[in-house]
Structure 1
Amino acid sequence: MTGVVPPPGSGRDLSNPPADGISNLRFSNHSDHLLVSSWDKSVRLYDASSNVLRGEFSHGGAVLDCCFHDDSSGFSASADNLVRRLVFNQGKEDVLGKHEAPVRCIEYSYASGQVITGSWDKTVKCWDPRGASGKERTLIGSYAQPERVYSLSLVGNRVVVATAGRHVNVYDLRNMSQPEQRRESSLKYQTRCVRCYPNGTGYALSSVEGRVAMEFFDLSEAAQAKKYAFKCHRKSEAGKDIVYPVNAIAFHPVYGTFATGGCDGFVNVWDGNNKKRLYQYSKYPSSIAALSFSRDGRLLAVASSYTFEEGEKPHEPDSIFVRSVNEVEVKPKPKVYPNPPA
């Protein structure tokens, strides 16, 4: 076990957690399997329901992201510049391709059957994991970005790429030659995370300065009038605002509400449509590095892992908590309208 005493109500902590910072975690779309990437150069596969480590892969550099293909395989993005495919039941891995600098983000597109990677070499690359004749892996295309890629997210055929310098590019995977839209973050500070709305209408973007922006793809005046940003993961002390980076955003697959995780160690659940916070979980032992809801929204995986926002210092061991989600925590509350006059 981790040796960390879980705070009341934080959920169960998984056995055999990574030995260094957790970079991301993802639930499978098909089961309660959980894939975890770490700075300890590993990718771990857990059965989150039974708290069992199913497999572990060691890489040549810190692993900065991971994602599932299906329950038998997944992909990883590493600081050794390599993109890998992982075959779980065989414990095998092979190299899908490489970038010229660390690979920060990876996604599998169910719409196109492609693997999408974003790197600090200022490119996004699309790969066919099946390749020619099923043996060789094929690079479909490489697309220059204005700066290093920090985060990317997919919904349907859309991919949203967030880079250093607060750039945001929106692409259609069916025609990657040019971005559909070139945007600038409406937040003033560095982007930490971007996640698309499950309904495909827009995306949420978080920054290092305790804010989240809610954006819409539709460029009409009416749609753009609905966008907004809000403050979160901050506190007042001695009359001063202390702000924390918002590292993680995860949408609930049933209700479309979303959780945010910050360097303050808190996880908040928000109703974006009604602009309200629905719930705040008990404080976790360390920064929240990543969040993921299970496919049915019954479980929430929380990576409690110091993200070095204050430099090298003693910190709690890295832990993964899996908590059961109650409907009251994530279901939007109906609007109450005043009775019309008689």
Structure 2
Amino acid sequence: MSGGAAPPPAPGRELSNPPSDGISNIRFSNHSDHLLVSSWDKSVRLYDASANVLKGEFKHGGPVLDCCFHDDTSGFSACADHLVRRYVFSTGKEDVLGKHAAPVRCVEYSYATGQVITGSWDKTLKCWDPRGASGPDYTLVGAYPQPERVYSLSLVGHRLVVATAGRHVNVYDLRNMSQPEQRRESSLKYQTRCVRCYPNGTGFALSSVEGRVAMEFFDLSDAGQAKKYAFKCHRKSEAGRDIVYPVNTIAFHPIYGTFATGGCDGYVNVWDGSNKKRLYQYSKYPTSIAALSFSRDGGLLAVASSYTYEEGDISHEPDAIFVRKVNEMEVKPKPKAYPAPAR
């Protein structure tokens, strides 16, 4: 991919009271500018991103590896202590939905089915009904073995995409979880970091530790598969040598379907996948980009600048969350230029 405008100077407004250890995920609410943040400091925090106010915090028994909203003041967490929790910030109530046999890496809530879906390093995917009686496994709807440890999940409508170690990708229909609808292999050669479904439901993007993103499509026909491609990003040349950075996170713009990627190089790039162009690169953040999230109307972008230990335990910039106003020119696809017809 090519192109891109000059980066602006300001990285955005920094949220006060950030987590004290690595940020594992950040998510905007579908209903407001509330932002949910999970962290290795064993906390899930709820912020009002517009007002820059910490509205609540829940402590866990281990590092929290993922979080997602249920509604505007309640959510779910995936924790290294093997537990899946639900918490209500407005009342301070917390309960355990269930547990895995190893750390829980991912959690998603399906508005289509009303289920919570978790993926774990125990090589299983589990679905939970949060309306059931509370307590470990009382709410379990089903458990589904995976070929390897689950690294990333993404939902669009009734479709669920599961990316695991060993570059496996399973695609499920939530209405029939008995077997994957598709069993695929990542078209990237190295370990998957993130999978995110396109908002229009036609496919998904995968990122890897080796500075690449793959654009994949659900349609298995020859014409459908002919559309897929991969591109290099988050890398630089220094003294004739290519330095390659992991691409940790992908976030799609909810209106335009363009997407942002964040890498261990501290940069956020915005891409137009349809036209295979980079639209924008924001100025460098203090350290690795661990997570990204667009607000429900695409007007804000939350950026977690948080060292992801790709170079081991070295001194690094403190963890921070920046919220920046998104300018339409940064995320709106540019119309294709066609030559003027001959007179």
Structure 2 length normalisation: TM-score? Answer: 0.96
What is the aligned partner in structure 1 of residue 84 from structure 2? 83
- Distance (Å, rounded) in 2 between the aligned partners of 1:42 and 1:55: 10
Unaligned runs of 5+ in 1: 1-6
* Pairs within 5 Å for 1:1-342: 8-131=9-132, 137-342=138-343
SS at match of 1:214: strand
Instruction: Provide the aligned length of Structure 1 versus Structure 2.
Output: 336
SS at match of 1:165: helix
SS at match of 2:287: coil
Instruction: Rate the CA distance shift 1:187–1:76 in 2: closer, same or farther, 3 A.
Output: same
- Distance (Å, rounded) in 2 between the aligned partners of 1:127 and 1:136: 8
Unaligned runs of 5+ in 2: 1-7
- Distance (Å, rounded) in 1 between the aligned partners of 2:182 and 2:237: 37
SS at match of 1:269: strand
SS at match of 2:254: coil
SS at match of 2:242: strand
1:230-268 per-residue CA deviation (whole Å, 9 max, x = no partner) reads 000000001110000000000000000000000000000
State the AA in 1 paired with 2:44: V
- Distance (Å, rounded) in 2 between the aligned partners of 1:135 and 1:277: 46
CA-CA distance at 1:135 after TM superposition: 12
Q: Does the 8 Å CA contact 1:103/1:120 hold for their aligned counterparts?
A: yes
CA-CA distance at 1:133 after TM superposition: 10
CA-CA distance at 1:134 after TM superposition: 12
Please, which moves more after superposition, 88-97 or 114-123? 88-97
Q: Does the 8 Å CA contact 1:130/1:137 hold for their aligned counterparts?
A: no
SS at match of 2:187: coil
- Distance (Å, rounded) in 2 between the aligned partners of 1:54 and 1:137: 30
Q: Does the 8 Å CA contact 1:286/1:305 hold for their aligned counterparts?
A: yes
Q: Does the 8 Å CA contact 1:25/1:290 hold for their aligned counterparts?
A: yes
- Distance (Å, rounded) in 1 between the aligned partners of 2:137 and 2:237: 56
1:107-146 per-residue CA deviation (whole Å, 9 max, x = no partner) reads 0000000000000000000000001599995100000000
Instruction: Give structure 1 regions of 4+ aligned residues with deviation exceeding 4 angstroms.
Output: 132-137
- Distance (Å, rounded) in 1 between the aligned partners of 2:34 and 2:83: 24
Instruction: Rate the CA distance shift 1:205–1:313 in 2: closer, same or farther, 3 A.
Output: same
| RMSD between superposed Cα atoms in Å | 1.4
SS at match of 2:66: strand
Instruction: Rate the CA distance shift 1:125–1:233 in 2: closer, same or farther, 3 A.
Output: same
CA-CA distance at 1:159 after TM superposition: 0.3
State the AA in 1 paired with 2:228: K
State the AA in 1 paired with 2:233: C
Instruction: Rate the CA distance shift 1:77–1:136 in 2: closer, same or farther, 3 A.
Output: closer
CA-CA distance at 1:8 after TM superposition: 3.3
- Distance (Å, rounded) in 1 between the aligned partners of 2:220 and 2:274: 18
